[in-house]
Amino acid sequence: MDRIRNFCIIAHIDHGKSTLADRLLELTQTLSERDMEAQVLDDMDLEREKGITIKSHAIQMQYKGHILNLIDTPGHVDFSYEVSRSIASCEGALLVVDESQGVQAQTIANLYQAIDHGLEIIPILNKIDMDSAQPDVVADEIVDLIGCSPDEIFRISART
């Protein structure tokens, strides 16, 4: 049991949750290269048509002797119930914030739910490769929100 991790990805809409989930699937070699496609967990026709996650999706990965149970959650406020159900089943959350947009309303709402459930929060600044990224400003927003050190914030580009 000590080698099992249940976690979700939470963020505002379009901050890169599903893209990060894709990269994790790729890095853990959960899916073959042939099976990989953009937003592989967004498998409903409407999700693919709209380009958003509507229903939470879970997948199990294995990495360095650990079992990682990941839930990719919706970012749109209309699907908050899906997020709350996911948070309730996890011990940790990857809090993804788009460096070019900063902390948004749904970021805060999802974060507070995760904190209320006692989840371990791992802050991630995404889209560092964007010209409009404001890494220091957005890092300060996250530090103010969760009280972490700037050094504890991962800075990534889920796309690359």
pLDDT over 70 percentage in the chain: 82
Domains: count for the chain:
1
* Boundaries of domain holding 104: 4-155
- Token readout for 34 is 């042939």
**pLDDT for residue 138:** 96
Residue 85 lies in a domain: yes
Residue type, 81: Y
Assigned domain for 160 exists: no
HSE of 78, CA atoms in CB hemisphere, 13 A: 4
Q: Is the dihedral of CA 11, 119, 54, 108 positive or negative?
A: negative
Task: Report the half-sphere exposure of 149 (CA within 13 A, side-chain side).
Answer: 2
Average pLDDT of span 80-102: 92
Where residue 81 falls among pLDDT bands split at 50, 70, 90?
A: confident
Residue type, 43: D
In-domain check, residue 149: yes
In a domain, 99, yes or no: yes
Q: Are strands 92-98 and 120-126 parallel, antiparallel or unpaired?
A: parallel
Q: Using one digit for the tens of pLDDT, what is the confidence trace for 37-69?
A: 554 555 555 555 655 566 677 889 999 999 999
What DSSP designation does 76 have? Answer: S
Q: Considering the domain boundaries, does residue 55 fall inside one? A: yes
Burial of 23 (0-12, 13-18, 19+ CB in 10 A): middle
Q: What is the mean pLDDT of residues 8-19?
A: 87
What's the CATH number where 10 sits? 3.40.50.300
- The whole-number pLDDT of residue 73 equals 82
Tell whether 34 is covered by a domain: yes
